[in-house]
Chain A
Amino acid sequence: MLVRAVDQVNKAAVEMCGITKRFQVSGRGLRRRPPVEKLALDHVSLEVATGEITGVLGANGSGKSTLIRVLATLLTPDEGKASVFGYDVVRQAAAVRRHINRVSVEAAFFKEMSPWENILYAARLYGSGGAGTRTRVEAVLDRLELPRETLDRPMKQLSRGQQQKVAIARSFLTSPSLLLMDEPTTGLDPRSRREVQDLVNVVRAERAATVLLSTHDLAEAEALCDRVVILDEGRVLAEGTPQDLCREYATDGQPATLEDVFLRVSGKRLEEDVEEEEAGS
């Protein structure tokens, strides 16, 4: 036990080496087109240091969710190796699962069930759920400033922001060593977004867990992350602390912004891409 604890301190929380993932995208509709191959991750290598918050920054479709799903044992990579606290995500998936949890863009809940029933279900799957769970859940919800009475109402009656907070509460309660957050603030109103960001900062301040957070929001990456990995079309284009990246890509002695960095390495603007996607949907 002790050996493993020491092990974990020395080891990176996440190690990825040459991870590649392709999808067969079949043509839909009446006129079936032959399936085309989509390269979602292209030899991605990265490390996440224990206790840090690492941001994966990329436009829509750049492969952020795919990367997170590989670590969450929800997708099997085609090539490469990835490990979480030294456990291989393919061969030792069960051990990986005990150490992780994930918060996704859409709060995935049984919509007719209450937050309490949803959280209790999650607690049971992660080895708790007995006496005292209710008190712990209430304590976490208080901290997230969710009114107590929301705890027993059907999930579908909660606002998007409230649902996302419950999702975060759910993941906290299972005490993951690695928390995977896939665009946790996307689609939230500005106020909920701030609150969720504050929460991530609390995790960071308390060094409660290692966090891998994906986002397409530059300001968010800058504000929350110790390190940033820039992902585009499935490839890692740059990585480092936001400060280092800005210094590295400085022009004429003027430090660059993270936006400049993104523009320089990917040749496109992040914001435009996002607006396009929102207009399209």
Chain B
Amino acid sequence: MIANSFRWEANAFIGFVERQRNLYRRYWAWEAVWLLYSLVTVLSIGYLASGLSTLGLEPSGVSLRDAQLFLLIGALLWTYLSMVFFEIAFAVTWERWEGTIEYTFMAPVRRITHLLGICAFSLAYGIARAAMIGLVVVPLFKLDLSHANWLSALLIFAAATLPLLGLGIFTAILPLLSPEKGEQMAFAVQGILLLLSGVYYPITVLPLPLHLAGLLSPLTYTLSAVRDALLHGASPSNVLPSAAILLAMGLVLVPASVWCFNRAEARAKRLGLLKRSG
């Protein structure tokens, strides 16, 4: 009985991953544009760093190369994190656009299977795109990653996955709560994360309230620990506290977000918010 229902859900999980893949393949022109857009954003951050010296703003103490590395790692990581975040956050919105939402929501599949399927594809796709951008950026700016401790970076990267999924699922709930304004809210959430998480600066430069809020964002720990690993060669034991915080956040955020999603779905079914035409 349990084995059967596991097989059933696993099959559906494959279905969601497969669907996302087919969907993105069919929208390949859009995907190419987004990839270009992300690449251009990262490049311009890189050149911004290169340009700092011409402004006579050579940071004292830190060399320009370090500043560039700091900014580029931020830009690359942000590209990855925001892409994965968006793919998940738009899971509901996308189905609204297509008009398939009721079909997906009436299928005999657990919601967690649905959400994890979307998450799995988003992660794989996000990693692939970030890798492509990295392959351009690292040689182009001759980034010096000789001090990097890759194992530590990987550890943080893995630990960051769970809270990232949690944030995405939480944001995916918004269009279920408000069909009219939920989509816009996803952009707002993304903007706030960008501001608070120290993507291009250490969060200590933020005013105290924002600084404190930044401490609640899992991306803050991801960015600072990955930087420690790549810039200063922090060892796995050095980044362990950050990894532990991220894991703890993930272990709270993921179940909480799935639980809230189910509540929001029940509310949408009560109020008739899934779809009303037809």
Contacts and interface: CB of A to CB of B under 8 A. Distances in A.
A117 interface: yes
Interface stretch (A124-132, A140-148, A203-211, A271-279): A124-132
A110 B15 contact: no
A106 B271 contact: no
A97 B113 CA distance: 15
Task: Give the dominant DSSP class at B's interface.
Answer: helix
Contacts of B34: none
Contact of A117 (B11, B16, B19, B104): B19
A276 to B, nearest CB: 18
B218 to A, nearest CB: 31
A170 B271 CA distance: 28
B99 A106 contact: yes
Interface in B107-161: 107-109
Contact of A105 (B98, B271, B274, B278): B278
Contacts of B275: 74
Nearest to A28: B180
Interface residues of B, number: 32
Contacts of B106: 72-74, 97, 100, 102
A97 to B, nearest CB: 4
Given A97-B107, A97-B108, A121-B15, A106 B272 contact: no
Interface residues of A, number: 40
A108 interface: yes
Nearest to B15: A124
Given A104-B102, A106-B277, A127-B11, A75 B19 contact: no
10 contacts: A21-B272, A23-B272, A76-B266, A109-B100, A110-B19, A117-B19, A121-B19, A121-B22, A124-B16, A125-B12
Interface of B: 8, 11-12, 14-16, 18-19, 22-23, 26-27, 98-100, 102-109, 266, 269-272, 274-275, 277-278
